[in-house]
Amino acid sequence: MSTDGNKKQFWKRNAAKVPGSLIKAGNKPPPATPGKPKKATTFQEFESITSDAWDVGDDDDELLAMAAQNLNIEVVMETANKVIENHSKQQERQRQDDTTELEPREEDTQEEVAEDEEEDEEEEEYRVGEGDVTSPEVSFASQSSPYTDGRLVKSHSEAPIGSPKDAAGERAALHRQRSLPHRQPVIPLVARMADQNTSGTPAMTEREASRLDKFKQLLAGPNTDLEELRKLSWSGIPRQVRPITWKLLSGYLPANAERRDSVLQRKRQEYFGFIQQYYDSRNDEHHQDTYRQIHIDIPRTNPLIPLFQQASVQEIFERILFIWAIRHPASGYVQGINDLVTPFFVVYVFEYIEEEVENFDVSSLQEEALRNIEADSFWCMSKLLDGIQDNYTFAQPGIQRKVKALEELVSRIDESVHRHMQQYEVEYLQFAFRWMNNLLMRELPLRCTIRLWDTYQAEPEGFSHFHLYVCAAFLVRWRKEILEERDFQGLMILLQNLPTMHWGNEEVSVLLAEAYRLKFAFADAPNHYKR
């Protein structure tokens, strides 16, 4: 560091060329020196020129001087009091809304109390301070309680740590935390799985009740008419009968009612036989890469839904995916297959519970029920993948063909959209690969995927063929938004983040109706993919 107190900081030597630099009144910039400045020829000379980089002299930066000015304490106090007052009103309304209060629990540990207090401080604590230590430093809260009495607390003066007022605030905060009932974590709209149109909720309409009766009558017969069941299922399946309907439509269960129990028992035993035979080999050298990738992908599966973050659920998914990969060496495990387990798992959990599933603790189920859900999910996922396995073999040729077919189809049904994407050099493979690989599961909420799969299982070749028309209808659905984007980046951000989090059964039904219209108009035309 230079000891020359009068030496000017290096960043000020040519202040006229620094954008935003402040020039004091009465000071004129030094005259420009003609010619290029002489470069330092030695390290010592360079060091001497830059050695004052962090020196602080009398001529400090104007911005530092501005930052050191005191804030208007009256404005700060008034604003802070308003914040505290509003928060107190919200707390009072919340307490009034609570219909029951839990008694203080003696078993609460000090660690739990400390964690609760830390969370309160992170959410509600606000501090307003000045650079001058002589000015009052205002804190919205003491360390122990961010809003014990609704008043502003001045730190270092009125409420020192360890004072009786501080202790009283801590006791008040602890009592409030203990008295509030436990609340389930809030599930984002995109992750909610409520099925309003086809559920058995009290709000079920007369039409929905009539459809449920038709399903029950059809399923109660000794031999289920699968063709009639497909027609009935195309418009959606009520939640109460969805598990058995999916098993029948996927071919997992026979149409003959008398044979179903024996088939289920045999297939479930067969699956757990695979577990005993293969699962211990997951750490073998030739399988460990597969298992490692599965182990990485499972926590990423529907991360917003607490159900799928439970350790026991993730272990189930690991077993299902590893056994499928071992039994299908032509493709093995491919990223994206993990998503395809989730609809089956959720539907088959509903076979054993009445409440919503997002926060359901699967450990409360009997072990036999959990084993049945696991085996049924494995076999139905296997049935689905058997029809689209070329999507996951080397180089994924099935997806390549479908994306190309989608491009040709869109060019026929909406030339404006097609030309717009060509104009901005957007390749269909850049956004539609995921649509085919994950069957639109990354584009739609899970509740919509389940409704979509009702129709896919009712439609002949629903996952392999009808899905193409659904993707075309889905793309054209956003025609207005696509045409409004005027660059490559905007188009890609839109197509990879389409605003569907509010979608429900009604939107999916409209999408399926448009897809069926496209299929009817084009599927029987041999040259509909060709110009």
Query: Would you put residue 381 in left (φ > 0), alpha (ψ -120 to 50) or beta?
Result: alpha
Contacts of 402 (CB under 8 A, 6+ apart): 391, 436, 467, 468
Q: Give the angle subtended at the CA of 343 by the CAs of 339 and 346, to the nearest 5°.
A: 120
Q: How far apart are CA 343 and CA 155, in angstroms?
A: 54
Are 143 and 161 in contact, with CB atoms under 8 Å apart? yes
DSSP H stretches of helix in 221-256: 226-233, 242-249
Q: How does pLDDT run along the chain (531 residues), one tens digit per residue?
A: 444 544 444 444 444 444 444 444 444 444 544 444 444 445 555 455 544 444 444 444 444 444 444 445 565 566 667 767 776 776 676 666 655 444 444 444 454 445 555 545 444 443 333 334 333 333 333 333 333 333 333 333 344 444 444 555 555 655 555 444 545 555 565 566 665 443 444 567 889 999 999 999 999 999 999 999 999 999 999 999 999 999 999 999 999 999 999 999 999 999 999 999 999 999 888 899 999 999 999 999 988 899 999 999 999 999 999 999 999 998 999 999 999 999 999 999 999 998 888 889 999 999 999 999 999 999 999 999 999 999 999 999 999 999 999 999 999 999 999 999 999 999 999 999 999 999 999 999 999 999 999 999 999 899 999 999 999 999 999 999 999 999 999 999 999 999 999 999 999 999 999 999 999 988 766 565 554
Strands 138-139 and 153-154: antiparallel
Are 426 and 485 in contact, with CB atoms under 8 Å apart? no
Are 152 and 140 in contact, with CB atoms under 8 Å apart? yes
The Cβ of residue 203 has, within 10 Å, a number of other Cβ atoms equal to: 9
- Complete DSSP assignment for 188-201: PGGG----TTTS-S
C-alpha pair distances (Å), 294 with each of 64, 291, 309: 54, 5, 15
Q: How far apart are CA 453 and CA 234, in angstroms?
A: 9
C-alpha pair distances (Å), 55 with each of 4, 61, 65, 131: 9, 11, 16, 20
DSSP reduced 3-state for 154: strand
127: which strand partners? 139
- Complete DSSP assignment for 366-377: -HHHHHHHHHHH
Q: Please give the model's pTM, rounded to 2 decimal places.
A: 0.65
Burial of residue 90 (number of CB atoms within 10 Å: 0-12, 13-18, 19+): exposed
Using alpha carbons, select from 352, 387, 340, 369 the residue that is nearest to residue 243.
Answer: 352
Q: How far apart are CA 84 and CA 18, in angstroms?
A: 43
Report DSSP state, residue 223.
B
Are 510 and 201 in contact, with CB atoms under 8 Å apart? no
- Burial letters 289-322, b for 16+ CB under 10 A, else e: ebbebbbebbeebbeebbbbeeeebeebbbbbbb
Q: What is the pLDDT of residue 339?
A: 95
Please give the span between the terminal C-alpha atoms of the chain, in angstroms, as a whole number. 75
For residue 435, what are its two tokens?
């649509």
Are 177 and 115 in contact, with CB atoms under 8 Å apart? no
Q: Give the angle subtended at the CA of 194 by the CAs of 188 and 198, to the nearest 5°.
A: 155
